[in-house]
Amino acid sequence: RLTASAADETGRLASEWASVTDDPGAQTLLGARPTGVGKTRYMVGRSRALEEISALVERCAPLDTTVLVTGESGTGKELVAEALHRLSGRRDEPFLVINCATLEPALLESELFGHERGAFTGAVARKLGKLELVGGGTLFLDEVGELPLEAQAKLLRAIDRREFVRLGGRDTLRARARFVAATHRDLDALVREGRFREDLLFRLRVVEIRLPPLRERTEDIEPLVKLFLEELRVRIPTPVKRFSDEALAVLERYRFPGNVRELRNIVERCLIFCRDEVVAPQALPAEVRAAAGAGEEASGGVLTLEESERRQIVRALEAADGNKTKAARMLGIDRTTLYAKLRRYGIGS
Ligand SMILES: Nc1ncnc2c1ncn2[C@@H]1O[C@H](COP(=O)(O)OP(=O)(O)OP(=O)(O)O)[C@@H](O)[C@H]1O
Ligand SMILES: [Mg+2]
């Protein structure tokens, strides 16, 4: 969602964006992928949701606005962060990623802010942190929900006052980076639990870009399969030329807990194991067939009530363009009931 403050800012700076897009040099820097949505060239898909995301990325990229990217694992959060960088005036400066979940707290702070010699045991020399190394580029804070509270306070200062200090250091340094953060967690819930600072959340979420799970934008599956086929064929010798319509239909019924990353892995497995030019449903991994198609085949096209309810809900949401009040009305239930069902089926995030 675009908050009011961000909307003002984007409105005011729209002319700056025009000059960036008009720059012919920018076109060649957009990445290797030949196809894609809008100017975010390497993001592929044709769902309404992805088109909107692409438009939002284009709009926010040239601004200094901090962006929070949310969505389940494998939905393309890092790709959005990269697009924000490549479509910005900072594209010639570094894009650095810091994964807030993988390092222990002390190491994480040192990785972010750097440290002076002797700052802690083992700090035998000065080390520059990513915030310093990135200069005027983009710093991508991945899994930002895992950031320990102490580091959160320091990050807030870096975003808010543009200041930071190396661990064990005395000099106040200037943070010039643009920040993009991502998480698959519900940060509002973390705030309620006292594990995430509310003031930091406000700072990070000037603009939020929500990536819906792949099962809610099945129109993206076909173009993504094509893209991955082309990309993977380069390094995997395979007779496969395309997926049959039936195989695509099975994929469209699958839930993809691992989202786009999982789809890519499925395509890769098919290229390795399928001996035909056309991938048929039988060549898809067993769990995909079991979860998606086989249920229907085995019971003569009959779905469980639960599954048919789930599909009707997804359909209603699609028909209502994601408007839940409208979708609830179409389904003949009230909004609270719809919300309960969405939670139960894990639709939305
Ligand atoms: N719209 C898209 N077009 C092309 N490739 C995509 C798209 N969305 C995702 N991908 C690809 O899917 C894989 C997963 O994407 P990415 O790493 O950005 O997801 P993520 O949301 O950061 O996942 P995680 O939460 O697990 O870190 C990558 O290989 C990425 O290139
Ligand atoms: Mg990621």
* CA 115 to centroid of ligand 1, rounded, Å: 32
* CA 142 to centroid of ligand 2, rounded, Å: 6
233 lines ligand 1 (CB under 6 A): no
pLDDT in tens, 39-60: 666 789 999 999 999 999 999 9
Contact 66, 29 (CB under 8 A): no
Tokens linked to 294: 């086989």
Mean pLDDT of the chain: 86
Contact 23, 36 (CB under 8 A): no
* CA 91 to centroid of ligand 2, rounded, Å: 20
212 lines ligand 1 (CB under 6 A): no
**For ligand 1, mutation pick of 35, 75, 140 (most atoms within 8 Å of CB):** 75
Considering the domain delimited by 305-345, tell me its CATH architecture: Orthogonal Bundle (1.10)
How confident is the model over 314-319, as a mean pLDDT? 89
Which residue has the least CA distance to atom 8 on ligand 1? 76
77 lines ligand 1 (CB under 6 A): yes
Contact 168, 114 (CB under 8 A): no
Please state the separation of Cα 17 from the chain's center in Å: 23
Domain 4-212, what fold? Answer: Rossmann fold (3.40.50)
Residue 3 has pLDDT above 50, yes or no: no
71 lines ligand 1 (CB under 6 A): yes
73 lines ligand 1 (CB under 6 A): yes
Residue type (1 letter), 48: R
pLDDT at 106: 86
114 lines ligand 1 (CB under 6 A): no
Considering the domain delimited by 225-298, tell me its CATH architecture: Orthogonal Bundle (1.10)
| DSSP 8-state assignment for residue 284 | S
pLDDT at 11: 35
Residue 242 has pLDDT above 70, yes or no: yes
How confident is the model over 271-279, as a mean pLDDT? 92
Please identify which residue in the block is written with the tokens 């009011």: 4
Residue type (1 letter), 246: E
Q: Which atom of ligand 1 is nearest to the CA of 36?
A: 3
pLDDT in tens, 6-41: 333 333 333 333 333 333 333 323 344 555 666 666
Percent over 70 (pLDDT), the chain: 84
Q: Which atom of ligand 1 is nearest to the CA of 33?
A: 4
pLDDT at 102: 84
pLDDT in tens, 194-234: 999 999 999 999 999 999 999 999 999 999 999 999 999 99
pLDDT in tens, 51-100: 999 999 999 999 999 999 999 999 999 999 999 999 999 999 999 999 99
What are the boundaries of each domain within the chain? 4-212, 225-298, 305-345
Contact 270, 226 (CB under 8 A): no
Whole-angstrom distance, CA of residue 56 vs CA of residue 254: 28
Q: Which atom of ligand 1 is nearest to the CA of 72?
A: 25
The DSSP H or E segment spanning 148 is none
